[in-house]
Amino acid sequence: MQTIGIIIKHNNTKALEVGIKLESWLRKRGIRTVFSKELAHAIPGSQAMEKLEIPQVADVIVVLGGDGTLLSVARLVDSHDVPILGVNLGSLGFLTAISLDELYTMMADILKNRFKVSKRMMLAARVYRQQEIITTYSVLNDLVINKGALARIIELETTIDQGYLTTFKADGLIISTPTGSTGYSLSAGGPIVYPTLDSIIVSPICPHMLTNRPLLIPPEARIETVLASEGGDVSLTLDGQIGFALQQYDRISVTRADHYIELITSPTKTYFEVLRTKLKWGERYA
Residue type, 285: Y
Q: Which H or E element spans position 14?
A: helix 13-28
Check if 239 is active-site: no
∠ CA 96-24-82, rounded to 5°:
40
The crossing angle, in degrees rounded to 10, of helices 13-28 and 103-111 is: 40
In the set 59, 67, 239, 258, the catalytic residue is 67
- SS3 for 113-164, per residue? CCCCEEEEEEEEEEEEECCEEEEEEEECCEEEEEECCCCCCEEEEEEECCEE
HSE at residue 79, side-chain half, CA atoms within 13 A, is 5
Which residues are catalytically annotated? 67
